[in-house]
Amino acid sequence: MHTVSVDAMIEDLRALVEVESPSRDHDALAASAKTVAAVIESRLGGHAVLVESEAGPHVHWSGGGEPKVLILGHHDTVFPLGTLARRPFKVEDGHATGPGVFDMLGGLVQAVHGLAVLEDRTGVEILVTADEEVGSGSSRALIEERALACGAVLVFEGASDGGGLKTGRKGCGTFQVSIAGRASHAGLEPAAGVNALIEAAHQVLDIAALGRPEIGTTVTPTVAAAGTLDNVVPAEATVVVDVRVETAEEKERIEAAFAALTPHLDEARITVEGGVRRPPMPESASAELFAVAQRLVPGIEGRAVGGGSDGNFTAALGVATLDGLGAVGGGAHADHEYLVVDAMAERAHLVAGLVKAIQNK
């Protein structure tokens, strides 16, 4: 097994970061996908296929042979075009910074360079999607297809605090509750209206009461809007709710509860959209692969986390899935996002060791 070059990894990371890739920007994602494909081909050979979708191109590469392990990541980021000009890529004091370094371009680079040290890459597939940050609507079917074909999935989202792996994830979703009332003059005839804002207030309290944090279920109203003018009884209101669950049973309970929401005010109407789109990733799904990682890096930690990833989908299929194999760092989705350069080589070698163990299984 060869060693990795941190300088070469930094070179590739710079190339990826300097092609901005905000979710839903098809032109930017097309350019990003080409760059991802070029990095893969330059380090691993072969041909990386661009899989077109309504969200933007996904990138798929295969080392040939019988599929055994899927390397899973995404190239879309949460930062709008122009972020790079304000926050350019740089390496300073042991940290690499720039939009997307931690979530999750650094992980992609480590995965590719980890595979590059292996002389045998048969059975290995890489899938880098274009829409993970916005729910994976266009990529989920492809992710599930390749995960089932391979039988093992390594996900290159950023590491947990301290460099630990992610052995479990909550299921997560978003609901939008829309309320229709009836407008009227707030001074002349307020009783003639149906106040959607008051109905929304009732619903927020009902919705928040659905949470069961003692078993890992959080139900958090996050965005609300209502009203048009200060002298008009509001006819419409919306409430957006973030939901996290640890079990399939809680997913079903929460979805049923949202479907059963009923108005408190006569003549108010409620419409609910959304759901728990990412099912929970149970720790049992990662147990076997995490044991291998512990043999390769004694003392490495694993933990269940609240955020979701595409690993939720693969684990829900019963496919062995280990997450958090990406960059060591922090600040995902924030301006202080960073990657720890000194950890890159060890993480790349961990990739190589895991893949080799899966190939030899």
pLDDT of residue 11: 98
What confidence tens digit (pLDDT) does each residue in 153-186 have?
999 999 999 999 999 999 999 999 999 999 999 9
- Contact (Cβ atoms closer than 8 angstroms) between residue 154 and residue 108: no
Task: Give, in order, the Cα–Cα distances in Å from 306 to each of 113, 168, 243, 324.
Answer: 29, 9, 10, 13
Residues 325-338: pLDDT tens digits? Answer: 999 999 999 999 99
pLDDT at position 135 is 93
Mean pLDDT by 10 residues, the chain (361 residues): 89 98 98 98 98 98 98 98 98 98 98 97 98 96 98 98 96 97 98 98 98 97 98 98 96 98 98 96 97 97 94 97 98 96 98 97 86
Task: Pinpoint the residues of the chain covered by CATH 3.40.630.10.
Answer: 6-170+281-359
Distance CA 257, CA 185 (A): 34
pTM score, two decimals?
0.92
Q: Look at domain 171-278 and name its CATH class.
A: alpha beta
d(CA 278, CA 141): 13
The strand pairing partners of 264, in sequence order, are none
The CATH 3.30.70.360 portion of the chain extends over 171-278
The structure tokens listed for 304 are 């269940």
Domain 6-170+281-359 is classified in which CATH homologous superfamily? Zn peptidases (3.40.630.10)
DSSP 348: H
The pLDDT of residue 1: 55
| CA distances, 218 to each of 209, 246, 252, 307 (Å) | 10, 10, 14, 12
DSSP state of 159: P
